[in-house]
Amino acid sequence: MFCTGGIRCEKASVIMLNQGFKNVYQLKGGILGYFEEVGGAHWVGDCFVFDQRVSVNPQLEETGFAQCFACREPISLEEQNSPEYVVGESCPYCIGRIQ
């Protein structure tokens, strides 16, 4: 398994082993550790992070994504230019679904 920074995988690994799983492996340091160690030559896309950056690229640089206040979906630059994206209210994913 793999996760952003490796912490959730550490916790999940223990639970899985305690439940009887035998072959439990994880990516040490998570995706961000992978980027630091080997770069992003074999990676496609960005990595969601759980802070104000929203996502980073393989060079660990912040990308242009925002996060919808209403539904918490990551919003691309293109989606941020949509009339359905109103900061603090809605985005193309949740427009009309969330009051």
Give CA–CA dist 67/2, Å, rounded: 22
Q: Known catalytic residue: 68? A: no
Instruction: Please list, in sequence order, all residues whose beta carbon lies within 8 angstroms of the beta carbon of residue 38, skipping any fewer than 6 positions away.
Output: none
Fill in the amino acid letter for 70. Answer: A
* Segments of 1-99 assigned E as strands: 47-48, 55-56, 66-67, 74-75
**Residues 3, 47, 71, 94: which is the catalytic one?**
3
Task: Report how far apart the first and last C-alpha atoms of the chain are (Å, whole number).
Answer: 36
- Known catalytic residues are 3
